[in-house]
Protein backbone atom coordinates (compact mmCIF):
# COMPACT_ATOMS: atom_id res chain seq x y z
CA UNK A 1 0.00 0.00 0.00
CA UNK A 2 1.42 3.38 -1.07
CA UNK A 3 1.71 6.46 1.07
CA UNK A 4 -1.25 8.27 -0.62
CA UNK A 5 -3.63 5.36 -0.21
CA UNK A 6 -5.67 4.96 2.92
CA UNK A 7 -7.09 1.86 4.45
CA UNK A 8 -10.47 2.17 6.08
CA UNK A 9 -11.83 -0.44 8.45
CA UNK A 10 -15.16 -0.76 10.16
CA UNK A 11 -16.43 -2.88 13.00
CA UNK A 12 -19.19 -5.23 11.93
CA UNK A 13 -20.08 -6.41 15.37
CA UNK A 14 -19.14 -4.16 18.28
CA UNK A 15 -19.12 -5.56 21.77
CA UNK A 16 -21.73 -4.28 24.13
CA UNK A 17 -19.08 -2.96 26.42
CA UNK A 18 -17.76 -0.63 23.65
CA UNK A 19 -17.63 2.96 24.75
CA UNK A 20 -20.02 5.60 23.43
CA UNK A 21 -17.20 7.84 22.25
CA UNK A 22 -15.86 5.14 19.95
CA UNK A 23 -19.25 4.48 18.42
CA UNK A 24 -19.68 8.22 17.69
CA UNK A 25 -16.28 8.40 16.00
CA UNK A 26 -17.15 5.45 13.78
CA UNK A 27 -20.40 7.13 12.64
CA UNK A 28 -18.59 10.37 11.79
CA UNK A 29 -15.95 8.46 9.84
CA UNK A 30 -18.64 6.67 7.79
CA UNK A 31 -20.42 9.96 7.00
CA UNK A 32 -17.16 11.57 5.92
CA UNK A 33 -16.46 8.68 3.55
CA UNK A 34 -19.89 9.11 1.90
CA UNK A 35 -19.36 12.87 1.45
CA UNK A 36 -15.93 12.38 -0.08
CA UNK A 37 -17.36 9.88 -2.52
CA UNK A 38 -20.06 12.36 -3.64
CA UNK A 39 -17.54 15.15 -4.11
CA UNK A 40 -15.37 12.89 -6.21
CA UNK A 41 -18.30 11.99 -8.44
CA UNK A 42 -19.23 15.66 -8.90
CA UNK A 43 -15.65 16.57 -9.77
CA UNK A 44 -15.52 13.80 -12.35
CA UNK A 45 -18.80 14.95 -13.95
CA UNK A 46 -17.65 18.59 -13.97
CA UNK A 47 -14.36 17.68 -15.63
CA UNK A 48 -16.18 15.67 -18.27
CA UNK A 49 -18.60 18.56 -19.02
CA UNK A 50 -15.78 21.09 -19.35
CA UNK A 51 -13.90 18.78 -21.67
CA UNK A 52 -16.97 18.44 -23.93
CA UNK A 53 -17.49 22.21 -23.90
CA UNK A 54 -13.86 22.85 -24.84
CA UNK A 55 -14.17 20.31 -27.64
CA UNK A 56 -17.26 22.06 -29.02
CA UNK A 57 -15.55 25.44 -28.91
CA UNK A 58 -12.47 24.12 -30.65
CA UNK A 59 -14.50 22.56 -33.46
CA UNK A 60 -14.72 24.92 -36.51
CA UNK A 61 -17.95 24.51 -38.47
CA UNK A 62 -17.88 27.76 -40.57
CA UNK A 63 -15.38 30.60 -40.96
CA UNK A 64 -16.08 33.68 -38.79
CA UNK A 65 -17.02 35.71 -41.88
CA UNK A 66 -19.40 33.05 -43.18
CA UNK A 67 -19.05 30.52 -45.93
CA UNK A 68 -17.17 31.96 -48.91
CA UNK A 69 -18.77 32.24 -52.30
CA UNK A 70 -21.96 33.73 -53.76
CA UNK A 71 -24.18 31.46 -51.64
CA UNK A 72 -22.62 32.36 -48.31
CA UNK A 73 -24.94 31.89 -45.36
CA UNK A 74 -24.41 35.23 -43.62
CA UNK A 75 -22.48 38.48 -43.81
CA UNK A 76 -19.85 39.51 -41.29
CA UNK A 77 -21.73 42.66 -40.16
CA UNK A 78 -25.28 43.73 -39.38
CA UNK A 79 -27.90 44.08 -42.03
CA UNK A 80 -27.80 47.71 -43.14
CA UNK A 81 -30.48 49.41 -45.22
CA UNK A 82 -29.59 52.77 -46.79
CA UNK A 83 -31.78 55.70 -45.73
CA UNK A 84 -34.23 56.87 -48.37
CA UNK A 85 -36.14 60.13 -48.43
CA UNK A 86 -38.88 61.03 -50.86
CA UNK A 87 -42.10 63.03 -51.17
CA UNK A 88 -45.48 61.81 -50.00
CA UNK A 89 -46.68 61.72 -53.60
CA UNK A 90 -44.06 59.06 -54.43
CA UNK A 91 -44.28 57.12 -51.18
CA UNK A 92 -48.08 56.92 -51.49
CA UNK A 93 -47.59 54.05 -53.92
CA UNK A 94 -45.93 51.98 -51.18
CA UNK A 95 -48.68 52.53 -48.63
CA UNK A 96 -50.67 49.37 -47.78
CA UNK A 97 -53.99 49.21 -49.55
CA UNK A 98 -56.34 49.50 -46.62
CA UNK A 99 -60.03 50.45 -46.55
CA UNK A 100 -60.95 52.34 -43.38
CA UNK A 101 -64.38 52.53 -41.81
CA UNK A 102 -64.72 56.27 -42.56
CA UNK A 103 -65.74 59.21 -40.38
CA UNK A 104 -69.48 58.87 -40.72
CA UNK A 105 -72.01 60.73 -42.84
CA UNK A 106 -72.47 63.89 -40.75
CA UNK A 107 -70.74 66.89 -42.31
CA UNK A 108 -69.56 68.25 -45.64
CA UNK A 109 -68.93 66.00 -48.61
CA UNK A 110 -65.29 66.41 -49.65
CA UNK A 111 -64.66 63.66 -52.18
CA UNK A 112 -64.40 59.94 -52.77
CA UNK A 113 -62.15 57.65 -50.78
CA UNK A 114 -59.42 56.29 -53.04
CA UNK A 115 -59.30 52.80 -51.50
CA UNK A 116 -62.87 52.00 -50.48
CA UNK A 117 -64.72 54.11 -53.05
CA UNK A 118 -67.05 55.50 -50.36
CA UNK A 119 -67.84 59.16 -49.77
CA UNK A 120 -65.44 61.10 -47.59
CA UNK A 121 -67.33 63.46 -45.29
CA UNK A 122 -65.61 65.84 -42.90
CA UNK A 123 -66.91 68.25 -40.27
CA UNK A 124 -64.34 69.23 -37.61
CA UNK A 125 -66.96 70.42 -35.14
CA UNK A 126 -68.97 67.20 -35.37
CA UNK A 127 -65.82 65.12 -35.00
CA UNK A 128 -64.78 67.22 -32.01
CA UNK A 129 -68.15 66.71 -30.33
CA UNK A 130 -67.90 62.95 -30.91
CA UNK A 131 -64.41 62.91 -29.39
CA UNK A 132 -62.70 61.59 -32.53
CA UNK A 133 -60.39 64.62 -32.72
CA UNK A 134 -59.11 66.76 -29.86
CA UNK A 135 -59.20 70.11 -31.72
CA UNK A 136 -60.94 71.35 -34.89
CA UNK A 137 -57.72 72.88 -36.27
CA UNK A 138 -55.99 71.54 -39.37
CA UNK A 139 -52.99 72.26 -41.59
CA UNK A 140 -53.03 71.92 -45.38
CA UNK A 141 -49.57 71.18 -46.74
CA UNK A 142 -48.38 70.13 -50.16
CA UNK A 143 -46.34 71.08 -53.18
CA UNK A 144 -47.46 73.62 -55.74
CA UNK A 145 -50.42 72.35 -57.73
CA UNK A 146 -51.42 69.61 -55.29
CA UNK A 147 -54.84 71.23 -54.61
CA UNK A 148 -54.40 72.98 -51.26
CA UNK A 149 -56.43 76.06 -52.21
CA UNK A 150 -59.13 73.99 -53.89
CA UNK A 151 -59.52 71.84 -50.79
CA UNK A 152 -59.68 74.89 -48.51
CA UNK A 153 -62.34 76.53 -50.68
CA UNK A 154 -64.31 73.29 -50.85
CA UNK A 155 -64.24 73.00 -47.07
CA UNK A 156 -65.54 76.47 -46.26
CA UNK A 157 -67.98 76.93 -49.15
CA UNK A 158 -69.64 73.56 -48.48
CA UNK A 159 -69.91 74.42 -44.80
CA UNK A 160 -72.04 77.51 -45.49
CA UNK A 161 -75.33 75.53 -45.97
CA UNK A 162 -74.76 73.99 -42.53
CA UNK A 163 -74.92 77.41 -40.87
CA UNK A 164 -71.20 78.04 -40.47
CA UNK A 165 -69.73 81.47 -41.19
CA UNK A 166 -66.32 81.94 -42.77
CA UNK A 167 -63.72 84.53 -41.86
CA UNK A 168 -60.36 84.73 -43.63
CA UNK A 169 -58.20 86.92 -41.35
CA UNK A 170 -55.44 87.37 -43.92
CA UNK A 171 -55.41 86.52 -47.63
CA UNK A 172 -51.91 87.33 -48.97
CA UNK A 173 -52.79 86.25 -52.53
CA UNK A 174 -56.30 87.66 -52.76
CA UNK A 175 -57.62 84.30 -53.97
CA UNK A 176 -60.56 84.24 -51.56
CA UNK A 177 -62.00 87.67 -52.43
CA UNK A 178 -63.94 86.45 -55.46
CA UNK A 179 -65.34 83.50 -53.53
CA UNK A 180 -66.46 85.77 -50.67
CA UNK A 181 -68.38 88.05 -53.03
CA UNK A 182 -69.84 85.08 -54.93
CA UNK A 183 -71.43 83.59 -51.80
CA UNK A 184 -72.89 86.92 -50.68
CA UNK A 185 -70.07 87.92 -48.37
CA UNK A 186 -67.57 90.75 -48.46
CA UNK A 187 -63.89 91.17 -49.24
CA UNK A 188 -62.09 93.96 -47.37
CA UNK A 189 -59.15 95.05 -49.52
CA UNK A 190 -56.34 96.92 -47.76
CA UNK A 191 -53.17 98.34 -49.23
CA UNK A 192 -51.05 101.39 -49.80
CA UNK A 193 -52.66 104.03 -52.00
CA UNK A 194 -56.18 102.72 -51.42
CA UNK A 195 -58.99 104.53 -49.67
CA UNK A 196 -60.01 101.68 -47.39
CA UNK A 197 -59.17 102.09 -43.73
CA UNK A 198 -59.74 99.92 -40.65
CA UNK A 199 -59.88 101.62 -37.28
CA UNK A 200 -58.55 99.15 -34.70
CA UNK A 201 -60.32 101.16 -31.98
CA UNK A 202 -63.82 100.74 -33.41
CA UNK A 203 -66.47 99.54 -30.99
CA UNK A 204 -67.17 96.43 -33.01
CA UNK A 205 -69.96 93.98 -32.38
CA UNK A 206 -71.83 94.38 -29.07
CA UNK A 207 -73.19 91.12 -27.67
CA UNK A 208 -76.80 91.11 -26.59
CA UNK A 209 -77.59 91.27 -22.88
CA UNK A 210 -74.71 93.53 -21.82
CA UNK A 211 -75.46 96.63 -19.80
CA UNK A 212 -73.86 99.97 -20.66
CA UNK A 213 -71.36 99.63 -17.82
CA UNK A 214 -70.42 96.07 -18.78
CA UNK A 215 -70.06 97.06 -22.41
CA UNK A 216 -67.82 100.02 -21.48
CA UNK A 217 -65.53 97.74 -19.45
CA UNK A 218 -65.43 95.12 -22.22
CA UNK A 219 -64.72 97.74 -24.90
CA UNK A 220 -61.91 99.35 -22.88
CA UNK A 221 -60.25 95.97 -22.30
CA UNK A 222 -60.60 95.05 -25.98
CA UNK A 223 -59.02 98.33 -27.15
CA UNK A 224 -56.24 98.07 -24.58
CA UNK A 225 -55.38 94.51 -25.61
CA UNK A 226 -55.44 95.41 -29.30
CA UNK A 227 -53.14 98.41 -28.84
CA UNK A 228 -50.77 96.25 -26.81
CA UNK A 229 -50.73 93.55 -29.50
CA UNK A 230 -50.07 96.09 -32.26
CA UNK A 231 -47.23 97.66 -30.30
CA UNK A 232 -45.59 94.33 -29.46
CA UNK A 233 -45.80 93.29 -33.12
CA UNK A 234 -44.06 96.46 -34.31
CA UNK A 235 -41.47 96.44 -31.51
CA UNK A 236 -40.94 92.66 -31.79
CA UNK A 237 -40.76 92.34 -27.99
CA UNK A 238 -43.11 92.22 -24.97
CA UNK A 239 -44.21 95.47 -23.39
CA UNK A 240 -42.81 96.62 -20.07
CA UNK A 241 -45.20 97.51 -17.18
CA UNK A 242 -44.40 101.21 -17.59
CA UNK A 243 -45.36 101.01 -21.27
CA UNK A 244 -48.68 99.38 -20.41
CA UNK A 245 -49.40 102.30 -18.10
CA UNK A 246 -48.54 104.78 -20.85
CA UNK A 247 -50.93 103.04 -23.27
CA UNK A 248 -53.76 102.96 -20.70
CA UNK A 249 -53.36 106.67 -19.93
CA UNK A 250 -53.20 107.66 -23.61
CA UNK A 251 -56.23 105.53 -24.48
CA UNK A 252 -58.27 107.01 -21.61
CA UNK A 253 -57.41 110.52 -22.78
CA UNK A 254 -58.34 109.72 -26.39
CA UNK A 255 -61.70 108.27 -25.29
CA UNK A 256 -62.43 111.48 -23.39
CA UNK A 257 -61.92 113.46 -26.59
CA UNK A 258 -64.03 111.19 -28.82
CA UNK A 259 -66.43 108.31 -28.34
CA UNK A 260 -64.70 106.39 -31.14
CA UNK A 261 -61.02 107.40 -31.04
CA UNK A 262 -58.59 106.77 -33.86
CA UNK A 263 -54.98 105.67 -33.73
CA UNK A 264 -53.44 109.13 -34.43
CA UNK A 265 -55.15 110.45 -31.28
CA UNK A 266 -53.54 107.74 -29.16
CA UNK A 267 -50.12 108.41 -30.73
CA UNK A 268 -50.49 112.12 -29.97
CA UNK A 269 -51.34 111.32 -26.33
CA UNK A 270 -48.35 109.01 -26.06
CA UNK A 271 -45.81 111.47 -27.46
CA UNK A 272 -47.38 114.59 -25.88
CA UNK A 273 -49.37 113.57 -22.78
CA UNK A 274 -51.75 115.93 -21.06
CA UNK A 275 -49.90 117.85 -18.33
CA UNK A 276 -52.61 116.81 -15.89
CA UNK A 277 -51.78 113.14 -16.55
CA UNK A 278 -48.01 113.68 -16.60
CA UNK A 279 -47.06 116.48 -14.17
CA UNK A 280 -43.41 115.43 -13.80
CA UNK A 281 -42.79 114.34 -17.41
CA UNK A 282 -41.96 110.75 -16.53
CA UNK A 283 -44.94 109.35 -18.44
CA UNK A 284 -43.63 110.94 -21.63
CA UNK A 285 -40.34 109.14 -21.26
CA UNK A 286 -42.00 105.81 -20.37
CA UNK A 287 -44.22 105.85 -23.46
CA UNK A 288 -41.74 107.26 -25.97
CA UNK A 289 -40.82 103.95 -27.64
CA UNK A 290 -44.46 102.85 -27.70
CA UNK A 291 -45.52 106.14 -29.26
CA UNK A 292 -42.88 105.98 -31.98
CA UNK A 293 -43.76 102.35 -32.69
CA UNK A 294 -47.44 103.17 -33.21
CA UNK A 295 -46.47 106.28 -35.16
CA UNK A 296 -45.21 103.96 -37.91
CA UNK A 297 -48.86 102.93 -38.42
CA UNK A 298 -49.91 106.57 -38.72
CA UNK A 299 -47.18 108.48 -40.57
CA UNK A 300 -44.39 105.98 -41.15
CA UNK A 301 -43.73 103.10 -43.49
CA UNK A 302 -46.75 101.17 -42.17
CA UNK A 303 -49.29 103.96 -42.67
CA UNK A 304 -52.30 103.85 -44.92
CA UNK A 305 -54.31 101.06 -43.31
CA UNK A 306 -55.15 101.93 -39.70
CA UNK A 307 -54.61 105.70 -39.54
CA UNK A 308 -58.19 106.94 -39.78
CA UNK A 309 -61.86 106.13 -39.27
CA UNK A 310 -63.08 102.87 -40.76
CA UNK A 311 -64.34 103.13 -44.31
CA UNK A 312 -65.52 99.52 -44.35
CA UNK A 313 -67.55 97.74 -41.71
CA UNK A 314 -67.03 94.23 -40.47
CA UNK A 315 -70.45 92.59 -40.53
CA UNK A 316 -70.47 89.30 -38.56
CA UNK A 317 -73.86 88.38 -40.00
CA UNK A 318 -72.45 87.91 -43.51
CA UNK A 319 -71.76 84.34 -44.60
CA UNK A 320 -68.12 85.14 -45.40
CA UNK A 321 -65.68 88.00 -44.80
CA UNK A 322 -62.16 87.97 -46.24
CA UNK A 323 -59.34 90.40 -45.49
CA UNK A 324 -57.43 90.84 -48.77
CA UNK A 325 -53.75 91.64 -48.08
CA UNK A 326 -52.43 91.02 -51.57
CA UNK A 327 -51.38 94.66 -51.87
CA UNK A 328 -49.28 94.71 -48.69
CA UNK A 329 -47.18 91.61 -49.29
CA UNK A 330 -44.02 93.67 -49.68
CA UNK A 331 -43.95 94.47 -45.94
CA UNK A 332 -43.80 91.49 -43.59
CA UNK A 333 -44.33 93.64 -40.47
CA UNK A 334 -47.51 95.14 -41.91
CA UNK A 335 -48.86 91.67 -42.72
CA UNK A 336 -48.20 90.62 -39.11
CA UNK A 337 -50.06 93.66 -37.84
28-86 per-position pLDDT tens digit: 888 888 889 899 999 999 999 999 999 888 887 766 666 677 666 665 667 777 888 87
Q: What is the pLDDT of residue 39?
A: 92
Sequence spans of domains, the chain: 103-164, 212-310
pLDDT of 93 above 70: no
Q: Which region among 1-10, 62-71, 137-146, 197-206 has the lowest average model confidence (pLDDT)?
A: 1-10
Q: Which region among 139-148, 174-183, 298-307 has the lowest average model confidence (pLDDT)?
A: 298-307
- Average pLDDT over the chain reads 80
215-252 per-position pLDDT tens digit: 888 888 888 888 888 888 888 888 888 888 888 888 88
Q: What percentage of the chain reaches a pLDDT higher than 90?
A: 8
Q: Which region among 21-35, 123-137, 150-164 has the lowest average model confidence (pLDDT)?
A: 21-35
Q: What is the CATH number of domain 212-310?
A: 1.10.8
Distance between CA atoms of residues 163 and 58, nearest Å: 83
- Banded model confidence at residue 256, pLDDT cuts 50, 70, 90: confident
Q: Which residue has the higher pLDDT, 24 or 6?
A: 24
Amino acid sequence: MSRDEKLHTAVLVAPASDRRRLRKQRRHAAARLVAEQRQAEKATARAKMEAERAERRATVYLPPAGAPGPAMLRTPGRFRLPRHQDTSAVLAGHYPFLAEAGLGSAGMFIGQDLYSGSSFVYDPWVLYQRGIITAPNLILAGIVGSGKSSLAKSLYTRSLPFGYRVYVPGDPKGEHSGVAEAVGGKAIILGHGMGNRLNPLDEGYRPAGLSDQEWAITLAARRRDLLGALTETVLARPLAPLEHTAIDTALAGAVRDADVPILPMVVERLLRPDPADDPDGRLTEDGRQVGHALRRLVLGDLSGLFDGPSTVRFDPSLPMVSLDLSRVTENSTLISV
